[in-house]
Amino acid sequence: MRTQTITKAPSESKITERISGSEAVVRCLIEEGVSTIYGYPGGAIMPVYDELFKYQDQIHHVLTRHEQGATHAAQGYARVSGKVGVAMATSGPGATNLITGIADAQIDSTPMVCITGQVPSHLLGSDAFQETDIVGISTPVTKWNCQVTRAEDIPEVMAKAFYIAKSGRPGPVLVDITKDAQFEEFDFSYEKCEKIRSYNPIPTSSEETLKAAADLINSAKKPFVVWGQGVILGEAEEEFQTFIEKAGIPSAWTILGASAIPTSHPLNVGMVGMHGNYAPNILTNECDVLIAIGMRFDDRVTGRLDAYAKQAKVIHFEIDPAEVDKNVKTDIAVLGDAKANLAKILPFINSNSHEAWHQQFKDLYKVEYDKIIDKDLFPNKEGLTMGEVLKEINKNTDGKAVVVSDVGQHQMIACRYADFKESKSNITSGGLGTMGFCLPAAIGAKMAVPEREVVAICGDGGYQMTIQELGTIFQQQLAVKIVVLNNDFLGMVRQWQQLFFDKRYASTEMINPDFVAIAKGYYLNARKVTKREELADAVAEMIASKEPYFLEVCVEKEDNVFPMIPSGASVSEVRLE
């Protein structure tokens, strides 16, 4: 029988209940509005799982088949829903299996709280069974982490964890809880965290800074916007579109920024970066004002830094001061929330069209279309291309699907050719480049938006790193549509070996299993396509299905993804072949 007491402070009264630390963890999750978590049980976290069993009408726990799968599923859930994703694991190998997903979330600014069990506090440092220093291990790849050894500290730590994960530039947080703290009872009450001393998650910029940025933009003859995920994370899509439309500025995206505005928007000139579109890459080094919004000048975007936009004045809209001047020297830094700052700068922006400048983008797009895009989407050879698979998916989803991709050639093709009409529709591993991300991330994405079509675009290599999550899809009965573009190679590495290592295909050719048989072993509908005349019907059947569906498409073994900026080259040296 629980007892309630009223603890009276000088200025307030709190109603408390005497409960265990493990129940407190679950109650904290409920207080934070968490309804779905992903995880894998084990000895050191078992008390929390026991309490979860009692609260399963309020929190749905998804048993993934690997702890890494739990983190990627939590990432997919967070990226599509805009909420904090939650993953949970036991101590030792369970905790260390979370690290790849945590590192991925850190570099891609994904809000996530990971909860790990730990050996009893009196055994810490004794090399006890399944003990690892997960706080020490995770410190470089978390926004914040904390070990809890007393039950009474759980509410405050959990409140801080959710606040830190979601506020400012989002990121992953890890809370490690010893087993004795989970069993210990204390007087529980919960108060959400709204402020932490010395932590300023949203810096501000003065009106003078905004006016100075506006003056540069208004005087520019060839302004160019590159936007990233910060527009989506800041829920600034409407303000961003209004801003570029008023200023008439051609705008390109990083892969994590894709879908913030529709692919078809006339000011959307494509993707920048190593496999981005020809025009935005070439014209980066011809613009006179470069406006970076919610992006961090990653090396895959900039190429050689000493040859990147040296002719341009640079305006950087950024929430994280650490990113300003880190890679590219900024002339004006507009610090703070993208949504607020784009709204504030709008009255100072002159209406413009820059028609001659836009024509340069159109002319270069035609060069790319004739040389690459037409051949990717409408090939005149016998073998299937990855591009034509995406074309069929677009036709059947009308640009309304959430497209989740792994890492490799198929990722670049998916990002280049998927049509997006809604924000939060392109879910991929950006900064870390994590193979195996796609399948579990698609699980989280589908659970975040069950009413939307979720299509997982995988390569045959990355797919096999987390193929066991087919079991999670079957158990949860999630109507995820899985497409494996099978070229029997680790395609992106093979492309580099072809271009830069004299076709020495060292350890990149795959001898693959019967993917359809494996999918059917997990009771999924499955089909394999080897010929062009089969493709349209197979994709239509897949999308029409109300159940999980696996589609393997055998594509050309040695197709390459172009354009391509070779490693160490400048954006002006982008190759079309």
Task: List active site positions.
Answer: 67, 129-130, 179, 492
Burial of 505 (0-12, 13-18, 19+ CB in 10 A): middle
Complete DSSP assignment for 293-324? ES----HHHHBSGGGSSTTSEEEEEES-GGGT
Instruction: State the residue for tokens 């929390």.
Output: 48
Q: What is the DSSP letter of 382?
A: S
Here the tokens at position 573 are 């040296």
d(CA 46, CA 50): 6
Q: Are 34 and 62 in contact (CB under 8 A)?
A: no
Q: What is the DSSP letter of 387?
A: H
Q: Taking each helix axis as running N to C, give the angle between helix 386-397 and helix 532-544, from 0 to 180 degrees, rounded to the nearest 10.
A: 40
Q: Are 277 and 252 in contact (CB under 8 A)?
A: yes
Q: What is the DSSP letter of 59?
A: -
Amino acid, res. 38: Y
d(CA 341, CA 348): 12
d(CA 137, CA 270): 38
Complete DSSP assignment for 497-529? HHHHSTT--TT-B-----HHHHHHHTT-EEEEE
d(CA 549, CA 320): 41
> For residue 254, which of 281, 234, 287 has the smallest C-alpha distance?
281
Q: Is residue 54 within a helix (H) or strand (E), and if so which, with residue range? A: helix 46-54
The dihedral sign for the CA sequence 349, 232, 112, 72: negative
Q: What residues are paired with 292 via a beta bridge?
A: 226, 316
d(CA 293, CA 348): 17
Provide the b/e sequence for 178-192 (b: ≥16 CB within 10 Å).
bbbbbebebbbebee
Here the tokens at position 209 are 């800074």
Complete DSSP assignment for 202-255? S----HHHHHHHHHHHHH-SSEEEEE-THHHHTT-HHHHHHHHHHHT--EEE-T
